[in-house]
Structure 1
Amino acid sequence: MARLGKLRPVGNRVPVPDSAHDLVMPWESAYATRFLDSGTSALSIAIAIAIARQARPAINKPEVILPGYGCPDLIAAAMAQGVVPVLVDLAEDSPWMNPREVADKITDNTVAIVAVNFLGLAAPLEQLSELARRSALLLIEDSAQRMPPSSAEDGCADLVVLSFGRGKPVNLMGGGALLVGYPLEEKARTCCSPLPLVNERPTIRWALKRQLFNILISRLFFGLLEQIPALRLGETRLHALERISLVDPIPGLLASGLVRFEQAPDYRLELDRELADLDRQGWIRLPAKLGQAEKKPTKLLRYCLLAPDMETRDRSVQLLNQAGIGANAFYGAILPDIPGVHDVLPETSGLRRAKDFASRLITLPVHEDVTQKDIRIMVKTLLRSAQQQK
């Protein structure tokens, strides 16, 4: 019999706005901030700025370089600007694009390279930044899954995208932000000036929505909601970006969310240590492997591993969910195989390493409601699953 109660896969609770949290944002020295209605909208405007900044106005079909494995919102953001998404394969056992293949994909039509941070792990920006500068392109850091972005202090990326949706590090029930490098401010004003402005305020309706949301993501209610197929919780598919709005956000809400995220427990090093025995079974602990190159590690959105094969991954996900832990395979497929994407993408091939990554990835919850007991269950279950490998 399936459990009713289950630890959700991801997502911190929505904070209470606190105007006393008048924080200086960690990126203010390098970027100006523009708030939008979603992270997808922020990425779309970043692409629009890249088009407007191009010195070659005769480009008929501008292109943007994206990883072959990622959220379909990447495609929606490009489509909204009439831009052709060019997908690049990943490096071996990594969520990051292979820089050599990025270089091969750059053409006279390319306007930007999008580097996507992965579950809190920072994408290696230095090589991509050099490629972008060499070809007079913009580098966009999509930091929807990492807070703060890795460019916050050094301004490595020209533009940075943040998201405040329910499955993001700072959950504000929606919205996003575009961090604009100061040399691009004029282009940003031109691209944003036609957009409508939405004023958000902490009304009674908003407060009730926040309270209800926080109740529904609790263990008991998340377990119940997951049993309702019509809700399609966790489903990944392409949704067209139909509107883009600027937002005047609720005062103190983002600052309060940043404080809450920073104060939450950090299980990264503990899981690295407790799951080290999996290495001998052919598993790869991605934070332990990829985090070595991070200049300033931060909390993870989810802990992520690569199983030796799809069969072991699927069995492990099943065992963890039976134990009440909301583990999953994240997107579960490369971008062209996600529902809705295949119909709009040009013919895409050569994503072998991305397919392998998607077939072996498993993610574990590490949000603020995770307890030490949950960590013990995760470790015990994964070690038991590894013992059942062929």
Structure 2
Amino acid sequence: MSKYVRPVGHPIITERGSRHTATSSTVYADYAPCYVNSGTAALQLAIQIAVRCAIEDDSNTSLKVPSEAEVIVPAYGCPDLITACVGAKVKPVLVDSCDPRSPFPGFKQIAEAISPKTVAVIAANFLGKSPELDKAQWQALRTRGARHIIEDRAQAFPFSSEEQSFFGDTVVASFGKGKPVSLLGGGMLLINRQYHHLCDFSQYNPRAVSTLERLKIEAKIAAYNLVITPAVYAQLLKVPGLNIGATSYKPPLPIVPLDQARLSWLPANAYRLENNFELRALIERLLRIVSFNYKLSLIGSSQDELYEARRMLRFPVLAESKAHRDDLLKRFHKAGIGTSAMYGKALPDMADVPLSDEVRKADFSNARSFADRLFTLPCHEDVTDETVKAIEDVLA
């Protein structure tokens, strides 16, 4: 094939001008940003702050050292969730999804997993959709012992215009490859003002870069912007052994500050995404196509409020079965359309993720069903009218 529409990702702007400053998407009122080397590092820092908060709490007599701390994690999610727990030296407690159509644990599942050693709950946004709990329910979980809520928005950039809807004590963002606002590296942790004293912000002042290093980063981004074009991406897929887009567990790395070059490009890339009205129109079209197909369903248990943001990293769909999903993936690939099964498995079924046999044998039937049936459609600027028609034909 001469062209192939990639599964995810936007071109990256390397623009350092100040024209986006006045309407910046990254200036927050009640949260202070801390910029680090990756989204996983930001999540690890959030967990460390949660541990410090728990130890500081005089009423907590059961938690003596960080290694005894537990963090509640969704059973369906990126293996980087476990990487961050390992880096922070805490025990991840996996919780099943509330429904086979959802990647999110519900109130009941989280409440039952809380123990005296719980220091935090990781509430992971999935491709632009937030967990299906409201602020009152998150507060109720805090009173039950979930002291710290970490809102993981690695897959949905936390725009300052949405700050009133944040429910986390800390909020994580990622600037990695394929993320909503990508800088080919980096992450951000937003820390609510009541926890500022638990983070030494001076350790994470943006790192200065030489002219040569900046040019190298710009060259890497220019190469990325070229590679993701449909014509070049099609050729890249022919290279054996690349395994593009595969997700696997990676050991934690030290937390270091983000470089000043990437940070200077953040406002322009965030502004571009926040004001991408063409993307919202595309998602509306995909929503109509999927909604009229009786063999497919949208994700989540609250169907009436699905896909409300119209600002998705990918467009998630559930097939009837794993066999149905796998057949669709093959047909999309043949049509030159980059769809994906995302992680492909629930966390306890990923062989390289460091979890005990006891955890792997536990009942995570909802998360496993979700993983077996999920696939995603691309939604970015290279999805043309012709692409949408091809998607419609495959799903017909």
TM-score between the two structures when normalised by the length of structure 2: 0.88
**Which residue of 317, 320, 327 maps to 1:308?**
320
- Look up the match of 2:193: 182
- Look up the match of 2:64: 58
Is 2:89 the partner of 1:82?
Answer: yes
1:88–1:98 contact (8 Å) kept in structure 2: no
**Which residue of 128, 132, 135 maps to 2:142?**
132
**Which residue of 230, 255, 275 maps to 2:290?**
275
SS at match of 1:170: coil
Change (3 A) 1:116 1:75: same
Aligned residues: 376
SS at match of 1:305: strand
Matches within 5 A, 1:26-175: 28-54=28-54, 55=57, 56=60, 57-59=63-65, 60-92=67-99, 93-126=101-134, 127-135=137-145, 137-148=147-158, 152-175=163-186
Is 2:266 the partner of 1:254?
Answer: yes
Is 2:388 the partner of 1:354?
Answer: no
- Please report how far the alpha carbon of residue 166 of structure 1 lies from its aligned counterpart in structure 2 after TM superposition: 1.2
Change (3 A) 1:5 1:154: closer
Is 2:348 the partner of 1:336?
Answer: yes
Task: Compare 370-379 and 283-292 and name the one that shifted more.
Answer: 283-292
Unmatched tracts of structure 1, length 5 or more: 384-390
- Please report how far the alpha carbon of residue 339 of structure 1 lies from its aligned counterpart in structure 2 after TM superposition: 3.6
- Please report how far the alpha carbon of residue 275 of structure 1 lies from its aligned counterpart in structure 2 after TM superposition: 2.4
Q: Distance in 2 between matches of 1:328 and 1:142?
A: 21
Q: Distance in 1 between matches of 2:33 and 2:268?
A: 17
1:201–1:249 contact (8 Å) kept in structure 2: no
SS at match of 2:258: strand
SS at match of 2:73: strand
Q: Distance in 2 between matches of 1:115 and 1:272?
A: 25
Q: Distance in 2 between matches of 1:96 and 1:27?
A: 29
Change (3 A) 1:355 1:58: same
Paired AA for residue 309 in structure 1:
S
- Look up the match of 2:5: 7
Q: Distance in 2 between matches of 1:38 and 1:182?
A: 22
Paired AA for residue 350 in structure 1:
D
Paired AA for residue 299 in structure 2:
L
- Please report how far the alpha carbon of residue 207 of structure 1 lies from its aligned counterpart in structure 2 after TM superposition: 2.0
Change (3 A) 1:182 1:155: farther
SS at match of 1:152: helix
Matches within 5 A, 1:288-299: 290=303, 292=305, 297-299=309-311
Identity of aligned residues (%): 32
SS at match of 2:93: strand
- Look up the match of 1:386: none
Q: Distance in 1 between matches of 2:368 and 2:30?
A: 36
- Please report how far the alpha carbon of residue 83 of structure 1 lies from its aligned counterpart in structure 2 after TM superposition: 0.6
Paired AA for residue 14 in structure 1:
I
SS at match of 2:207: strand
SS at match of 2:377: strand
Task: Compare 11-20 and 321-330 and name the one that shifted more.
Answer: 11-20
Task: Compare 55-64 and 362-371 and name the one that shifted more.
Answer: 55-64
1:17–1:256 contact (8 Å) kept in structure 2: yes
- Look up the match of 1:236: 247
Q: Distance in 2 between matches of 1:146 and 1:335?
A: 21
- Please report how far the alpha carbon of residue 342 of structure 1 lies from its aligned counterpart in structure 2 after TM superposition: 4.6
Task: Compare 156-165 and 342-351 and name the one that shifted more.
Answer: 342-351
Q: Distance in 1 between matches of 2:301 and 2:312?
A: 12
1:43–1:178 contact (8 Å) kept in structure 2: yes
Task: Compare 119-128 and 305-314 and name the one that shifted more.
Answer: 119-128
- Please report how far the alpha carbon of residue 291 of structure 1 lies from its aligned counterpart in structure 2 after TM superposition: 6.5
- Deviation per CA, 1:30-83, whole angstroms, max 9, x where unpaired? 211010100000000000000000123515510100100100000000000111
Q: Distance in 1 between matches of 2:228 and 2:382?
A: 10
- Deviation per CA, 1:285-344, whole angstroms, max 9, x where unpaired? 2389656167x6241100111011111111111101100000011110001222411556
- Look up the match of 2:393: 380
TM-score between the two structures when normalised by the length of structure 1: 0.90
Q: Distance in 1 between matches of 2:131 and 2:216?
A: 38
Task: Compare 353-362 and 237-246 and name the one that shifted more.
Answer: 237-246
Task: Compare 52-61 and 233-242 and name the one that shifted more.
Answer: 52-61
Change (3 A) 1:275 1:194: closer
- Deviation per CA, 1:83-142, whole angstroms, max 9, x where unpaired? 101100002111111221111111011100001101111223422342024325100100
- Please report how far the alpha carbon of residue 228 of structure 1 lies from its aligned counterpart in structure 2 after TM superposition: 2.4
Q: Distance in 2 between matches of 1:129 and 1:182?
A: 17
- Look up the match of 1:19: 17
- Please report how far the alpha carbon of residue 154 of structure 1 lies from its aligned counterpart in structure 2 after TM superposition: 3.9
Change (3 A) 1:288 1:86: closer
1:8–1:222 contact (8 Å) kept in structure 2: yes
Q: Distance in 2 between matches of 1:345 and 1:49?
A: 29
**Which residue of 228, 232, 244 maps to 1:217?**
228
